[in-house]
Structure 1
Amino acid sequence: MGRTTLQLDTSFDVVSPATGAVVGSYRIFDTAEVEATVATARGAGDWWAGLGFTERARRLDAWRGEITRGRGELARIIHEEMGKPLSDAKLEIAMALEHLAWAAANARRVLGPRQVRPNLLSMNQECTLEYRPFGVVGVIGPWNYPVFTPLGSVSFALAAGNAVVFKPSEYTPGVGLWLAERFAEVVPEQPVFQVITGLGGTGAALCRSGVGKIGFTGSTATGKRVMAACAETLTPVLMELGGKDALIVDADADLAAAADAAVWGGMSNAGQTCLGVERVYVHTDVYDEFLTELVARAAELRAGTGTAKIGPITMPKQIGIIRHHIEDALARGARALLGGAGAIDGQFVQPTILVDVPEDAAAITEETFGPTLTVSRVRDMDEAIERTNAGAYGLGSTVFSRHNGKRIADRLRTGGTSINAYVAHATITSLPLGGIGDSGFGRVHGADGLKEFTYAKATTRQRFPLPLALTTFTRSETTDAIVDRLVTVLHGRNR
């Protein structure tokens, strides 16, 4: 598993955020080692692509079986490295397996060659469209969902026929190595899926290594640095970045269901979720009743170890951001109905619910990434939509309304919206997932996710010569006149 102790200048430690104990020591790949890994991946990618869709699907299904049988061990590693409760770690694995299964089963249908109908002026051409792999894809993964999120890129890139070099977060390297070891058991012939461990410099080296594409998941600030590094070699990028997702509660909503979704969306994984609920906008007619339900449910939760349903904050530096957002809101007139300034104890943050927070406060405009919710009263859904769309992020959104959900959702500027359920669109295997604005661009999951790791290849074959030769210097004036008349018939009558 790579957990042997190495020299300090070539390794880094992973520390449990819950206990402070060192749970592993891992190798730091330098630039030369990253480039060598990518070089071996190129040959492996050619071999993997040559297996074809059917054999790749068989191998990916076998990998899925290995992950399933070892999910208890994998969940334990997740728990040790980033602190997530074991039950939530197992749920994350289950969701990742669903998307892996979809990618393997649907790659041929989405990416395989298909005939395309030509237009009238090229009716003599047989046209084929297919989606071909880049060869090697680099994936830089996050720590908050160290299986579900990176596999949204890794498994789809593999299904498309690419070799993958995966740089997991320095907070969860053991998860990445475990996944690669299980893959090697079902694909022992070639290094199709390799893991490089390290810090930021290792990720930067991967960006500059000449891979066909980089799939990155992380903060918006880091995403900008990744893009800058990739720009040096014109390496295309997929950006899954931060979010400041809102949950909207209409006057006709099921308030119990909405409150339950807000608590789970805001507090699960200690709030460390890009698609997590951070803002709640509630119709004034049901605001007080909703707040009562929300606070009652959140008050039953506790952050801690053992049987606690909320784990620690994984990144130590995030504690300062969470504290700043809470204290800034309170200093500007907000009230804490639960938690507040005293909610932070070491790496643990107790559930916090803030009301009367100004819309320009950091707790509203910036990603908090902690178990906090801001709840705001709105006069109607027009105001809720306006406030939701005002931010720079545009990842996900949730709407609770018995009769107006679709009308509200259609007006939200986000990559996805779930009505009367939290983040359901991220769990549906055939739907794409991604954002706009500061939340990034590109998509994982579904057909869009498969195409993300390929390039479109168009091929034509002339079946017979046209009576009217168009692309030649021997084209006659008669031909030009006939084409001119055809253009008028085909397009000139449109108004």
Structure 2
Amino acid sequence: MTTLTFDSLNPATGAVVGSHPNQDAEAVGAAVARAETAAAWWGGLGHAGRRRRLLDAKAVVTRHLRELAALVHEETGKPVGDATLEIVLAITHLDWAARHAEKVLRRRRVATGMIGVNLAASLEYLPLGVVGVIGPWNYPVFTPMGSIAYALAAGNAVVFKPSELTPGVGVRMAELVAEAVPEHPIFQTVTGLGETGAALARDPRVKKVAFTGSTATAKRVMAACAENLTPVVIECGGKDAFIVDADADLEAAADACLWGALSNAGQTCVGVERVYVVDAVYEPFMRELSQRAASVRAGEHYGPITMPGQLDVIRRHIDEAAKSGTVVTGGPDSVRAPFVDPVIMADVPEDSPAVREETFGPTITVRRTRDVHEALELANASAYGLAGTVFSRNKRRAMELARAMRTGMTAVNSVISFAGVPALPFGGVGDSGFGRIHGADGLREFARPKAVSRQRFALPGMNLTSFTRGEQELERLIRLVTFLHGRRKR
């Protein structure tokens, strides 16, 4: 096994937070082998046994909340308060998954219909075995826990490869779960760079991989998984839109818009990046938004850009947008590594990189629209489709807009609120990925449906699945089907 190590750094100061092994394919394979044994034991416990242990794990994580938040702060640079919020959300999801797994996944009877009147049918969802999770750095607890908690609750063992920027958080999470479940390593963390994740994706003993990250990296993960036809859950980035209707509460809308765009230094896959405001309220909304932005400061209200290379992307987007748009707040000089001050730009062409590509920084583009219909059309004109927001006092219109948004999730008169509802599935469409975590869909994502049909009694004169079947039996079948399905419904 390799003895090479790598350091995790505090992006705000450059100080070394910790040193971790750069684990190779052999080390990853050893972890997967241990996970296979753990999965057999964990799956055999049944729902009640897993529920009790996962609730114990939730309690352990909760007791170490402050410590874990401090580590998230050190490795990402985000304020401790923001780190605390994401861990609290992760705890609520772990609690929900543990408490609801049996109801969602347990065996249940299924109606057989008239053709199967002599049958009994059942459906249940069984564990896959070993699940690999490859997590991001921007929310190093909340995001991967959306896969880890639901995979564990569904009866699987998990091998987790955290981002090389936040390895310490991943290691500590596995240690906390092991404290609650010491019998077998149901949750292990392997640390390393890109090849570590590739080794996990390529291991044929891994029965599903959940990945969160860029679209480009997702394609490489999918290619690795394709070698063994390993199914994947892919959660990529977004270019999320925020629609402000003519009757919106402008103070609330501006407040939510600003937080959705600037929190975590804009490094949020479901954060606000594009804003479309109906003409009638455009001017007052812009005044409210810019006034609020003037009091927000990088390094105080939000942290640094965690991944240094992203600074070049942010700088390019601002520079390109400034050529043809109007800079309302900030500008090219807002990029002062490792921090980026708030940037608001208006009248930016829709084909600009700042509108088309994910910026992943504390920037917003705002455009005036004739009405909400144009706003919706522009919001949907994106290759991404992760999340969005609608602000309107008209409940019916707001819901119509929310449902029509080409996204996996939409918040109405709030921002990113769906992430705090454990029962709601989380995921996107298009370049934002596919598959779902969270909620009942998230539990089923990490299980395999098992269908069973059992003959209760033989149907006299209707032995259809036999070479002894005669013309009379076929005629009876035709008459039955004609009776059931041959009449047009009006």
Same fold (TM over 0.5): yes
SS in 2 for 1:410: helix
Aligned residue number for residue 372 of structure 1 = 363
**1:320 is aligned with what amino acid?**
D
Partners of 2:284 and 2:64 in 1: CA distance: 45
- Give the match for residue 459 of structure 2: 466
| Aligned: 1:337 with 2:331 | no
Task: Structure 2 unaligned segments of length 5 or more: list them.
Answer: none
Q: Which runs of 5+ in 1 are unaligned?
A: 1-5
1:398 aligns with 2:389: yes
One of 194, 205, 209 as aligned partner of 2:199: 205
Is residue 2:372 matched to residue 1:381? yes
Taking the aligned partners of 2:363 and 2:221, their CA distance within structure 1 comes to 29
Q: Is 1:162 aligned to 2:153, yes or no?
A: no
2:448 match:
455
SS at match of 1:469: coil
Q: Normalization by structure 1: what TM-score?
A: 0.97
**Using the alignment, how far apart are the partners of 2:384 and 2:159 within structure 1?**
29
Q: CA deviation at 1:466?
A: 1.4
* Structure 2 residue corresponding to 1:319, chosen from 303, 311, 335: 311
Tell me the number of residue pairs that the alignment of Structure 1 and Structure 2 aligns.
485
In the TM superposition, residue 42 of structure 1 has moved relative to its aligned partner by 0.6
> Helix, strand or coil: the match of 1:18?
coil
1:444 aligned partner: 437
> Displacement, 1:441?
0.4
Equivalent residues in 2 for 1:300-319, closer than 5 Å: 300-304=295-299, 308-319=300-311
Distance 1:164 1:127 in 2: 31
SS at match of 2:309: helix
> What is the distance in 1 between the residues matched to 2:93 and 2:488?
45
| One-letter amino acid of the structure 2 residue matched with residue 330 of structure 1 | A
Question: Quick check: 1:54 aligned with 2:48?
Answer: yes
Query: What is the aligned-residue RMSD (CA, Å)?
Result: 1.1
Whole-Å separation in 2 of the counterparts to 1:471 and 1:483: 12
1:215 match: secondary structure: strand
1:3 corresponds to: none
* Corresponding residue SS for 1:279: strand
1:339-380 CA distances to partner (integer Å, 9 max, x unpaired)? 110001111000000011000000000000000000100011
| In structure 1, distance between residues paired with 2:287 and 2:355 | 21
Given the alignment, which residue of 414, 419, 433 partners 2:412?
419
CA distance in 1, matches of 2:18, 2:398: 47
CA apart distance, 1:189: 1.0
Q: Distance in 2 between matches of 1:71 and 1:94?
A: 8
Aligned to 1:33: 27
Q: Distance in 1 between matches of 2:454 and 2:368?
A: 62
In structure 2, how many angstroms separate the alpha carbons of the residues matched to 1:83 and 1:223? 25
Structure 1 residues 234-288: Cα deviation after superposition (integer angstroms, max 9, x where no partner): 0000001110000000000000000001100000000000000000000000001
1:335 deviation in Å? 1.5
Match among 470, 474, 479 for residue 480 of structure 1: 474
Corresponding residue for 2:11?
17
What residue is the counterpart of 2:187 in the other structure?
193
SS at match of 1:325: helix
259, 265, 270: which one aligns with 2:265: 270
Which of 240, 255, 280 in structure 2 is aligned with 1:285? Answer: 280
SS of 1:121's equivalent in the other structure is coil
CA distance in 2, matches of 1:224, 1:145: 21
Are 2:94 and 1:100 aligned? yes
TM-score calculated relative to the size of structure 2: 0.98
Structure 1 counterpart of 2:253, which letter?
A
- 1:411, distance to aligned residue in structure 2 (A): 1.5
* Offset at residue 494 of structure 1 (A): 2.8
Structure 1 stretch displaced more, 321-330 or 184-193: 184-193
Aligned to 1:235: 230
Aligned equivalents of 1:79 and 1:250: distance in 2? Answer: 37
* 1:305-361 C-alpha deviation (Å, 9 max, x unpaired): xxx011000000000000000001112x11111111000111100000001100000
Q: Aligned equivalents of 1:313 and 1:229: distance in 2? A: 29
1:462 to partner: Cα distance: 1.2
Superposed CA deviations along residues 372-423 of structure 1, whole A, max 9, x for unmatched, are 0001000111110110000000000100000121121121111011110101
Deviation digits for residues 23-82 of structure 1, max 9, x if unmatched?
111101101111111111111101001111111111111111111111111001101001
Q: 1:221 aligns with which of 216, 219, 226?
A: 216
After superposition, give the CA deviation of every residue in 1:406-453 in whole Å (9 maximum; x if it has no partner): 121121111011110101112111111110000000111110000000
Counterpart CA distance in 1 for 2:157 and 2:142 is: 19
Residue 95 of structure 1: SS of its match in structure 2? Answer: helix
